[in-house]
Amino acid sequence: MKDKITHLIRSNIKNLKPYQSARRIGGNGDIWLNANESPISPLFKTNITSFNRYPEFQPNSLRIAYAEYAGLLKEQILITRGADEGIDLLMKAFCDPKEDAIIYCPPTYDMYSICAKIFNIRIKKIPTFKNTWQIDLEQIRLNLNKVKIIYICNPNNPTGNLISRKDLITLLKLTLGSVLVVIDEAYIEFSIKDSMVNYLKDYPNLIILRTLSKAFALAAIRCGFILANKEIINILNKVISPYPISTIISDIATQSLSYNSIQNMKERVLTINLNRNWLVKELKKINLVERIFNSHANYILVKFSMFEKIFNKLWQKGIILRNQNHKINLKKCLRISIGSYLECVNLIKEIQNFSNI
């Protein structure tokens, strides 16, 4: 049977390596520090009891709630299945397969390149500067031919740094009228003052991706948003699926954007940022740590000597981190999601025990 169907597979899919999500990689344990999830779960209840009708195409109450939170008009909001669907939709709407290209700047989120490979869109890889992780504006400028979209993650995953606002504005000016600049702000609540949302009014080529998975602690419901000018939202409405957001998800997401829930989110962010600062301070005392990169998100990137042994030892102990050694300029690096204070304490104890062997 296998031989009878393999010839039907699209040529660009045959050898595609899929995105390795945290759950896909697996692991067994009680301390999950590999997916940048919130360690603190909010509690919501839903009163939805009937399921025989399709949901609203774009739930109005949720659009209004997120527009108020972001300081935009509801016509500038598109609700998506996580920020990942936003990455996908933009290529689907704007890029011609085999003709157009995207630019992405590794080390960064892998889904930008994987989505492009799925759609058979060309990829121009412009690495960030080593150790500072800032974008290489000159190389981007020299490689704009046939490019439709540039993806920038800010704060960047997995390095945790912020991209210079001056560079982002320069990039927007450089590409105005010719290329879309997509800034993925999945982690922006951990450094909200650095959002580019206020620049949407000045740059029609700016698009922002957001999610409820991180600071809002709702990774399980898969709800994200595209923020852009109304013309772009109208275009994306043509290619998004007919009923992307279920009624239950819409209900919970809307609840999460109430005044009290937003205040609770801000308290979670403060707690996680404090835990991050404590974890960094303690890691600096450990002789196996070669470098801790400055982070503005709910994770840190750490360079270890004996990184593989540390990763495997922690894995065996049920403390699951994310290995980044295979990525460009990230040799010997592990990414650590910021857990609860107790999880951070347990992590430090296990690394200290290993360093004393």
Is residue 55 domain-resident?
no
- Based on the fold, state whether residues 74 and 219 are members of the same structural domain: yes
- Based on the fold, state whether residues 22 and 64 are members of the same structural domain: no
- Based on the fold, state whether residues 125 and 203 are members of the same structural domain: yes
The number of C-alpha atoms within 13 Å of 137 and in the hemisphere containing its C-beta is: 13
The whole model's pTM is what? Answer: 0.95
pLDDT at 22: 65
CA distance linking residue 68 with residue 266, whole number of Å: 16
Helix H or strand E segment including 102: strand 101-104
Residue 183 token pair: 């800034």
CATH number of the CATH domain containing 130: 3.40.640.10
Is residue 49 domain-resident?
no
- Based on the fold, state whether residues 243 and 268 are members of the same structural domain: no
| Residue 299, strand partner residues | 337
- Based on the fold, state whether residues 12 and 111 are members of the same structural domain: no
Burial 146-183 (b: 16+ CB within 10 A, else e): ebbbbbbbbbbbbbbbbbeeeebeebbebbeeebbbbb
For the stretch 144-183, pLDDT in tens is 999 999 999 999 999 999 999 999 999 999 999 999 999 9
Of 140, 139, 148, the closest CA to residue 119 belongs to 148
What is the residue-wise DSSP string for 264-317? Answer: HHHHHHHHHHHHHHHHHHHHTT-TTEEEE---SSSEEEEEETTHHHHHHHHHHT
Is residue 180 domain-resident?
yes
pLDDT at 357: 57
Q: State how many domains the chain has.
A: 2
Domain interval for residue 101: 60-258
CA distance linking residue 303 with residue 276, whole number of Å: 16
Residue 354 reports pLDDT greater than 90: no
Is residue 124 domain-resident?
yes
- Based on the fold, state whether residues 274 and 249 are members of the same structural domain: no
